[in-house]
Structure 1
Amino acid sequence: MKNNFLFLIFLTFILAMQNGYSQVDVVYTDLVWSDEFETNGAINSSKWHHQTQLPDGGSWFNGEVQHYTNSLTNSFVNAGFLNIVAKKQPFTDQGVTKQYTSARLNSKFSFLYGRVDVRAKIPTNQGTWPAIWMLGKNVNEDGGFFDAQFGTTSWPACGEIDIMEHGITPSQPSNYVQSALHTPSSFGNTINIGGTIANNLGNDFHVYSMNWSPFQISFLLDGVVFYTYNPAVKTPNNWPFNAEQYLLLNIAMGGVAGSIPSNFNQATMEIDYVRVYQNAQTDTQSPTNFTASIGAVTSSTIELLLNANDNSGNVNYTITYNGGTITLANPSGIQKSVVVPNLLPTTTYVFSVSASDLAGNNYVQNPIVLNATTTGTVGCSGTDTETQQGSFTIGYNYAFETLGTDVKITFQMLDTDKVGVVAFLWRQNPFTEYPMTNVSGNIFTRTITGQTIGSTISYAVKFAFAGGLSVTKYFSYVVGDNCSLDVPITNEFKQLCYPNPVESILHLQLYNDQSKIRLTDISGKTLIDAIVNSLHDIDMRNFNSGVYFLKVENLNGIQNFKILKE
């Protein structure tokens, strides 16, 4: 079967060029480790380790009920395929008798950053849990191949990357496969998950892939990305993925995979190949043809359009501005759109953009400096606690913003006692539910397109979490209307503007630094337009007596004050 191995490698590379360049941030092209399973019989012991030792007091984790063995009945190579077989058979090992056996293989190869491709056909039997996954080489797990020499770190601080799992998502269709990441910030029933539907799962082979760079981890099915993990700020708590990991292949039985039918006999995962790619060539050439320009601009975002060439096939971009630093990578010669979020309206931002390659070679004329000013806000925002289902312990923020003929809807759950929060946008009439995109923390957004200016829309948000859900009230919004003046800010900490009436110095106590203030007179003339800190004074001694209006805008919303100058 493997006589055409070189051709298959070449074909895989071509497909990666066609599909992967637009799918992932870093393209890996050098095959550094693989197993094509060409020799019938036992697995290649120079590449794989049977993990059989029970690590959890006579059991495996997650309530699983199998013994893992090194028996040829549970793992063997035949006709170019690795077979991992879960069987119903009494088996006694380490003084413990179990009714099911299977195999769990550790690769004797570990690596930092790269791409994994595994072509496999997986079982879909009730009660089976086939998995292709990775663990940190430093995991302290008795019986693992690397444990004796490198096992210094407990799970999940070692990091876990689940490339493919099946059988543990009963709420999903039977042909649904899942990828997940386990970190100290989210593990077990992790919120860091993505999934997709595989056609004819259980009967056809599919290629399950993971692309791991210093910046993000992407998961692919048959060459198409369906989930990317990319924390904006990476810490050991959410990104333990900066050290070597190794591969695991196994079928678990029962536990979170559910009950096993009484007529179960055996189930097999067939694996055609396992391949790991990295970029192994020494690189001394700097990027060329670096361009950077401004794209679309809204009241809260600025798009940067970046492009450069590099012989390595990848370019690293670093964007620095007064809101922080963004670092990312993208394939050479492919334009990258970077949307910088969480900006203040009608504010000018300066971006310093540099290009380099992953080897650290810098573009000779770094940096390119760009300037852009965000637009004014057209929309509504505020805070509320009212629900139509469930309840909130603190409440939620909401915002509706018109962007051309689109409306960006953003909700933030303020409750801190909820775990595994996801959000769905509810359209009132006709009722429709849409998944929302997580921005960060418990902030979720979705943009509805093709709206008519002047029309009224009505939406609510369902927050679902471990153990329950809470649904906000419906909010009606007129597209293109700036109704934020009518939305009061309600919070335990009130923004203050005192004394009022004022004779000389007006003191401001605001929610946060980087608040935008605008003071106008009764005719609408702007007298002050500035970005200020949370504690700020306005000297009004030279202002005429009369009525003034102060608008305060920050991440908590917009609040307006009527000021009387004596």
Structure 2
Amino acid sequence: MKNSTSFKLLLSFFLFCQFGFAQVDVVYSNLVWSDEFDGNGAINSNNWFHQTQLPTSGSWFNGEEQHYTDLLTNSFVNSGMLNIVAKKEPYTSQGITKQYTSARLNSKFAFKYGRIDVRAKLPLEAGTWPAIWMLGKNVNEDGGYFDSSFGTTDWPACGEIDIMEHGIFGGQNINYIQSTLHTPSSFGGSVNNGGTIASDLANSYHVYSLNWSPFQLTFLLDNVPYYTYNPSVKNASTWPFNLEQFLLLNVALGGIAGTIPTSYTQSSMLIDYVRVYQNTAVDTQAPINFTATIGAVTSTSVELLLNATDNSGTIGYNVAYGTNSNGMAGTSGIQKSVIITGLNPNTNYNFTVTASDLTGNPAANNPIIVNATTLPNSTLICSGTSSLAQQGSFSTGYNFEFQTNNTNEVKITYSLLDTDKVGVVAYLWKQSPFSEVQMTNVSGNTFTKTITGQTSGSTISYGVKFAYAGGLSVTNYYSYVVGSACTMGVTTFSELNQISFQNPVSDFITINSDLVLDTIEIYNLVGNLVLKTETKSNTVDVSSLESGVYLLTVYSGTEKVVKKIIIR
């Protein structure tokens, strides 16, 4: 790479684009270490160390088949590119002969926090495993550059950050690359990983990046984030990433990368540059205008709204409650929304919030303590399946579900399971006082309606009329306690549901029933009570009512039933 004025201007523009639009939590903008791989010949020994010593087993891990060497044929610079070349060739080292060689480079530069950009082109041949990755400077690995002075910690407690790996993900697209974190909480086949598909790895260079802050690790391909690691609990088991790490570049062969074809001869990973950015300006000014308030509250979460300003442009916030503590970054002068989840319903919480810049300068008004009480159970679902009907009948039945979304809203959903009915529409029936409202079709024969203005702890009772070509069927009423434990009740009808009467009627309605009827009520279709009798007679004078459609409600003991009547 050539150091020219035009190149520096181009680099400045690239950095502006790069850092101005990347979706990362902390922006690092000062170039602190790099290798542009100018010139030709051997790698820069001030920057890189050849790691060649075999593990005590006599082979590299994961069943790999290569020797790593310091031979110029396995690692060299040519025309502004670092070449790491994996080759098929017999080679004896440390008393062991292997049939393949390659190179594994350690950076002699270690750092904590920053952004790493590596522009590279990968080998795609079967059996190859190119990697751009990092290990803790304190890793106890004989033969590593930092081991003799700093190697006090075994893997994975040292932490491993795989910025980019290729070739070991069977069944994936040939252009698939992945980033993985290895920690004491998850290592080997770590669950902490994320991948993406690049465009044309065989012929194109791509920029593989890591943005490493005190709060999270974000991985990017060509400046587009595709995976973020941010465990809610950060300790030695989940977050060994608060100490210096160094870079590794290598191409392994065989093992979990698969069988090396007999026709294999050699392949190369070409690297255009390696760049590390940090923020180097000395910052002595503490954040000011620090505020912390409560935002949205649910039964299981509390939103904290945080804000502060700082000359560095970045604010570090920490939120502590109980035994929990979580840190995150925010932008100076821009409100940060932090949602604390996994809380208990109807519980009071105190949140202790602090603000500082990334240098550690604290806000003068630290800490701010804010208090919030979560709502009562806000996602209470009671559901069931039935075929009981108060009018008509069901060939299969229906599903019903009541869900309290907020303290004053209940979402009611019914699904007709009958397959012999067409042209279905649904109407929600409120039991008392009676009302009818059309429900919204969700899909198929599933309908929903949200009722508002409810009171937590009150009991509501609803059923549904399914109307369809050639008739209608009405479900039983189901009672539900708003915003409390799931205590849905079914209004039973038993023998009362079997009453009969002539319909339409003129002056009198006579109800045929084997039960003793206590009360008979008649409502118009807007829910107004227009007639009521508490006599033990089963005959009711309706001559005073105008012609039209009404709802007849009949009570016997603790049971009731609603029927539609037509008065001429």
Instruction: Quickly name the TM-score band, shorter chain normalised.
Output: 0.5 to 0.7
Contact 2:41 2:77 in 1 (8 A): yes
- With structure 2 as the length reference, what TM-score do the two structures score? 0.66
Report matched runs for 1:379-418 at 5 Å: 379-380=379-380, 402=405
Distance 1:237 1:142 in 2: 23
Aligned to 1:7: 9
- Can you list the C-alpha shifts for 1:352-409, whole angstroms capped at 9, x where unaligned? 4322112222223334444444333343589xxxxxxxxxxxxxxxxx98579x99xx
Residue type of the alignment partner of 1:151: G
1:527 aligns to what?
none
Are the aligned partners of 2:19 and 2:29 in contact in 1 as well (CA < 8 Å)?
A: no
Aligned residues, how many? 404
Aligned match of 2:361: 361
Deviates more, 1:301-310 or 1:34-43: 301-310
- 1:77-126 Cα deviation digits (max 9, x unpaired): 11111111111222222222212111110001111222111111111221
Q: Contact 1:27–1:331 at 8 Å: present in 2 too? A: no
Matched residue, 1:326? 326
Structure-to-structure mapping, 1:447-462, within 5 angstroms: 455=448
Does 1:224 pair with 2:224?
yes
- The answer on whether the counterparts of 1:295 and 1:304 sit within 8 Å (CA) in structure 2 is yes
Are residues 1:181 and 2:191 paired? no
Q: Distance in 2 between matches of 1:81 and 1:325?
A: 45
In the TM superposition, what whole-angstrom CA distance separates every residue of 1:113-159 from its partner, at most 9, and x where no partner exists? 22111111111221110000011111121211111222222211211
Q: 1:138 touches 1:158 (CA, 8 Å); kept in 2?
A: yes
Query: How far has the Cα of 1:61 moved from its partner?
Result: 0.6
Distance 2:275 2:21 in 1: 17
Shift in Å, 1:302: 1.4
Q: Percent identity?
A: 61
Equivalent position of 1:78 in the other structure: 78
Please tell me whether residue 88 in structure 1 is matched to residue 88 in structure 2: yes
Counterpart AA for 2:13: L
Question: 1:204 — aligned with what?
Answer: 204
Q: What amino acid is aligned across from residue 374 of structure 2 in structure 1? A: T
Mark the CA change 1:342 to 1:352 in structure 2 (over 3 Å): closer, same or farther: same
- TM alignment of 1:57-72, pairs within 5 A: 57-72=57-72
**CA deviation profile, 1:43-81 (whole Å, cap 9, x unmatched):** 001110111111142211110001111112111111111
The alignment partner of 1:346 has SS state of coil
Which residue pairs with 1:410 in the alignment?
Answer: none
**Is it true that 1:266 corresponds to 2:229 in the alignment?**
no
User: What residue is the counterpart of 1:290 in the other structure?
Assistant: 290
Q: 1:493 maps to which residue?
A: none
Instruction: Please list, as runs of the form range in 1=range in 2, the aligned pairs for 1:296-375 lying within 5 A after superposition.
Output: 296-322=296-322, 324-375=324-375
Report the Cα distance in structure 1 between the residues aligned to 2:8 and 2:106, rounded to whole angstroms. 26
2:486 corresponds to: 485
Q: For residue 308 of structure 1, what is the amino acid of its counterpart?
A: A
On the 8 A contact 1:184/1:238 being kept in 2, the answer is yes
How far has the Cα of 1:181 moved from its partner? 1.1
Contact 1:379–1:484 (CA<8 Å) still a contact in 2?
Answer: no
CA distance 1:15–1:288, change in 2 (3 Å): farther
Please tell me the residue identity of whatever aligns with 2:48. Answer: W
The more displaced of 153-162 and 331-340 is 331-340
CA-CA distance at 1:189 after TM superposition: 1.1
1:295 Cα offset (Å):
3.1
The answer for the alignment partner of 1:245 in structure 2 is 245
Tell which deviates more after alignment, 124-133 or 300-309: 300-309
Instruction: Determine helix, strand or coil for the equivalent of 1:149.
Output: helix
- The one-letter code of the counterpart of 1:9 is L
Give the greater-gyration-radius structure (CA): 2
The answer as to whether partners of 2:132 and 2:163 remain within 8 angstroms in 1 is yes
Structure-to-structure mapping, 1:98-137, within 5 angstroms: 98-137=98-137
Deviation of the 1:258 alpha carbon: 0.7
How much has 1:231 moved relative to structure 2? Answer: 2.1
SS in 1 for 2:486: helix
Distance in 2 separating the partners of 1:174 and 1:378 = 46
Distance 1:223 1:305 in 2: 29
- C-alpha spacing 1:175/1:283, structure 2 compared with 1 (3 Å): same
Match for residue 213 of structure 2? Answer: 213
- Which amino acid is the alignment partner of residue 111 of structure 1? F
Q: TM-score w.r.t. structure 1 length?
A: 0.66
TM-superposed deviation, 1:42: 0.7
Give CA deviations for 1:317-360 in whole Å, capped at 9, x if unaligned: 12233463332222334432211011122334343432211222
Unaligned runs of 5+ in 1: 383-399, 408-449, 457-479, 488-566
2:45 maps to: 45
2-side partners of 1:157 and 1:230: how far apart?
17
Structure 1: distance between partners of 2:223 and 2:404: 35
1:16-31 counterparts in 2 under 5 A?
A: 16-20=18-22, 23-31=23-31
AA partner of residue 316 (structure 2):
N
Structure 1 vs Structure 2 CA RMSD: 3.0
Question: Would you say the 8 A contact 1:379–1:483 is kept in 2?
Answer: no
DSSP 3-state at the match of 2:315: strand
1:152-185: per-residue Cα shift (whole Å, max 9, x none)?
2221121111110011111322211111111122
Return the alpha-carbon distance in structure 1 between the equivalents of residues 381 and 84 of structure 2: 55
Secondary structure of 2:117's counterpart equals strand
**Structure 2: how far apart are the matches of 1:290 and 1:16?**
29
Q: The residue matched to 1:9 in structure 2 has which SS? A: helix
One-letter amino acid of the structure 2 residue matched with residue 268 of structure 1: S
Distance 1:105 1:301, change over 3 A: same
> Taking structure 1 as reference, are residues 300 and 72 closer, same or farther at Cα in structure 2, changes over 3 Å only?
same
The residue type paired with residue 485 of structure 1 is C
What is aligned with 1:172? 172
Do the aligned residues in 2 keep the contact of 1:24 with 1:330 (CA within 8 Å)?
A: no
Give the aligned residue type for 1:10: S
Compared CA separation, residues 150 and 162, structure 1 to 2 (3 A)? same
Instruction: Write the deviation string for residues 469-520 of structure 1: whole angstroms up to 9, x where unpaired.
Output: xxxxxxxxxxx99795259xxxxxxxxxxxxxxxxxxxxxxxxxxxxxxxxx
1:296 partner letter = A
Output the CA distance in 1 between the equivalents of 2:204 and 2:306: 40
- 1:313 deviates by 2.5
Letter in 2 for 1:13: L
| Cα contact 2:233–2:326 (8 A) shared by 1 | no
Matched residue SS, 1:485: coil
- Who is 2:154 aligned against? 154
Shift of residue 210 of structure 1?
A: 1.1
Instruction: Give the conservation status (yes or no) of the 8 Å contact 2:161–2:181.
Output: yes
3-state SS, counterpart of residue 7 of structure 1: helix
Q: How does 1:395-544 map to 2 (within 5 A)?
A: 402=405, 455=448, 485=486
- For the 8 Å contact 1:379–1:481, the answer to whether it is kept is no
* Counterpart Cα distance in 2 of 1:137 and 1:233: 23
Q: Return closer, same or farther for 1:364/1:373 CA change in 2, 3 Å cut-off.
A: same
Question: Residue type matched to 2:288 in 1?
Answer: T
Give distance in 1, aligned partners of 2:331 and 2:113.
Answer: 15
Distance 2:174 2:484 in 1: 46
